[in-house]
């Protein structure tokens, strides 16, 4: 199973500003390989890196990184009014015993996905392995309750999709983390009806009710329906980022 190390901003800046970038990278690789990481991810932001964006990407590719995915980043402030949810769907909360069923829904949702990362991961491993990737090790990165997660159900009592809101781990006992979505999808046979707007509104309201500081989420740069949904709900188009990957040889 893959284990991903996400470089933080300090590590990224130290690497890209170093006069000995190969030596700096070698030191970092030795560190993370000892902890059995299998891949190294770095994120380059249009907003943060600005004029250096293209140079940094070219530099990373020159030392072995490959471009994994381009994403659009959306945010919603905690000052935004509580989102109203349309009535055409009813929502049913999940519990831990529903995880196997949820995995089946995630696998189904991969059909005709617009997410380049999912497409590549499925090609490299399997559709089942990519579904497991979303559901394994959740507590290491996120705080959540299973009853925050919901199925969307139509008037014919059919499950049309699901939304899985979480928030990032707390930095302190008094501070709740930023909210985000582990995964959200309309099942293939129900796409084209705008249900993603309903699912996003339900997930957004759930995060608002638990008092997160803000919601931070992203989607594939080419996923136009999801980008339009974020904008229609009130999210701010905050940034564009490129994620680059370096495969490691864990010992």
Q: What are the C-alpha distances in Å from 201 to residues 25, 41, 152?
A: 42, 30, 11
Mean pLDDT of the chain: 89
Start-to-end C-alpha separation, the chain: 13
Q: What are the C-alpha distances in Å from 212 to residues 27, 142, 151, 170, 173?
A: 36, 13, 22, 10, 13
Q: Quick one: 105 exposed, middle or buried, by C-beta within 10 A (0-12, 13-18, 19+)?
A: middle
What is the distance between the alpha carbons of residues 11 and 18, in angstroms, rounded to a whole number? 11
What is the distance between the alpha carbons of residues 49 and 55, in angstroms, rounded to a whole number? 10
The domain limits of the chain are: 4-72, 90-233
What is the distance between the alpha carbons of residues 51 and 184, in angstroms, rounded to a whole number? 33
User: pLDDT tens across 183-206, in order?
Assistant: 999 999 999 999 999 999 999 999
Q: What is the CATH number of domain 90-233?
A: 3.40.630.30
User: pLDDT tens across 5-45, in order?
Assistant: 888 888 888 888 888 888 999 999 988 888 888 889 999 99
What is the distance between the alpha carbons of residues 89 and 140, in angstroms, rounded to a whole number? 32
Q: Give the global pTM.
A: 0.84
What is the distance between the alpha carbons of residues 230 and 75, in angstroms, rounded to a whole number? 9
Helices (H), 79-223: 99-109, 116-124, 127-135, 138-141, 195-209
* 54/139: higher pLDDT: 54
């Amino acid at each position: 199973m893959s284990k991903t190390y996400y470089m933080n901003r300090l590590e990224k800046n130290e690497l890209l500003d170093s006069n000995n970038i190969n030596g700096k990278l070698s030191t970092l690789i030795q560190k993370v390989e000892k902890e059995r990481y299998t891949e190294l991810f770095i994120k380059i932001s249009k907003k943060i890196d600005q004029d250096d964006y293209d140079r940094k990407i070219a530099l990373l590719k020159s030392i072995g990184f490959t471009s994994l995915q381009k994403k659009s980043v959306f945010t919603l402030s905690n000052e935004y009014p509580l989102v109203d949810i349309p009535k055409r769907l009813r929502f049913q909360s999940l519990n831990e015993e529903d995880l196997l069923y949820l995995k089946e829904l995630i696998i189904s949702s991969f059909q005709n996905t617009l997410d380049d990362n999912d497409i590549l991961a499925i090609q490299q491993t399997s559709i089942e392995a990519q579904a497991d990737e979303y559901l394994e090790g959740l507590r290491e990165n996120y705080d959540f309750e299973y009853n925050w997660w919901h199925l969307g159900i139509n008037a014919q009592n059919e499950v049309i999709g699901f939304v899985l809101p979480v928030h990032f781990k707390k930095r302190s006992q008094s501070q709740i983390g930023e909210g985000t979505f582990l995964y959200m999808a309309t099942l293939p046979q129900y796409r084209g009806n705008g249900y993603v707007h309903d699912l996003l509104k339900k997930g957004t309201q759930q995060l608002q009710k638990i008092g997160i500081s803000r919601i931070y989420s992203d989607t594939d740069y080419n996923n136009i329906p999801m980008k339009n949904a974020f904008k229609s709900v009130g999210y701010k188009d905050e940034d564009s980022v490129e994620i680059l990957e370096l495969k490691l040889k864990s010992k």
